[in-house]
Amino acid sequence: MKIGFALNEILALLTLLTGGLSLAWRRRRGSGRAGKPWWVGWGAELFTVVALIFTCRVALADWQRVPSASMEPTLRVGDMLLINHLAYGPRLPFTNTALPMGLPQRGDVAVFRYPLDVSTFYVKRIVAVAGDRVQFRDGIVAINGEATQVTDLGWGEHPADRGQRLLTERVAGREHAIKLNPFVLGRLPQAIGAPDCTPLRPGAWDCTVPQGKLLAMGDNRDNSADSRSWGFLDEREVYGRVDRVLFNYLEFSRFWHKPA
C-alpha cells in the first residue's frame, strides 16, 4: 500500500503537535507555574483552528485548484474546485482508508491520488466502473455495448478551445462535453494491455474494467494523461467528487459553476 503525504497529512501532524502543546499548557497552568512560554502562542493557541480545518477537509469538503487543461471544456485552468468528501466517504490521512458512504459512479468528475505519486491529486471523469466493457473509437467511448449519443457543437470559441472540436457525449444516461483535436481523434498510446484491454488500431481499443478498479479519462480527450497512460484507477484512491467550481480568478463568470 502506498502512503500519501499531501496537505491533509501535514494538517494531521500539525493537529497532533498543537494538541500536544495545548495539553502541556493546560498541565502547566494547573500546576500553578507562572509565566507564559513562547510556544503557547505558536502552538497551543492554534490547536482549535488547525483541528477545525483538518476535520472539515477530511470529513466534509475541501478545495483544489485545476493546474492543467486535461478536463477542458468542463473545467478550466485556474478553477478552484469544491470537493465533496461525503459522496464516497472521508479518506483517513496516511492510510488512504475510506469510511465508506458511496461509490464512484459513471460520469462523476472525481479527485483522486495519482497512482504513480499518491502525494499528488488528479481530477478526471470516471468513465467506467468495475465490470464495465468499454469501447473506445476515435475519442468517443461506449459502455457495455450501448450506443453513445454524440452531438457536434462545432469549433470551440473559448481561447483555450480554438482549433478544437467540441461535442457532447451521452454515455450510460449521463451527458457531458468533450474536446477533440481533429488531427489526433484519440490516437494516443494505450498502455493497458492484455488481459484487460485489446488494442484494435490507432485510436481504437476495447477494455473490461477489473474488480476494484475504475477507468478515468479527461474530457480533453487528446490532451490528458489518464488511465490510457498509467492504467486503471484503484477505487481506494478516489478522494472526493467535484460538485462546484468555487471561482476562477481568470474568469469571474465561472463563480459557483456546476460541472456537467
CA–CA distance, 66 with 54 (Å, rounded to integer): 21
Annotated catalytic residue: which of 36, 68, 70, 224? Answer: 70
What would the grid cell of residue 106 be? 459513471
Going edge to edge, which strands form the sheet with 117-128? 61-65, 80-84, 238-247, 109-114, 117-128, 213-217, 233-234
| 124 counts as catalytic | yes
CA angle 211, 141, 190 (to 5 degrees): 70
Joined grid coordinates for residue 145: 455495448
Catalytic residue among 22, 124, 179, 227: 124
Cell numbers standing for residue 167: 461535442
The phi and psi torsions of 58 (rounded to 5 degrees) equal -80, -45
The question of whether 119 is a catalytic residue gets the answer no
In this structure, what C-alpha cell is assigned to residue 169? 457525449
Closest CA to 217 of 75, 115, 109: 109
- And the C-alpha cell for 199? 488494442
Would you name the residues annotated as active-site residues? Answer: 70, 124
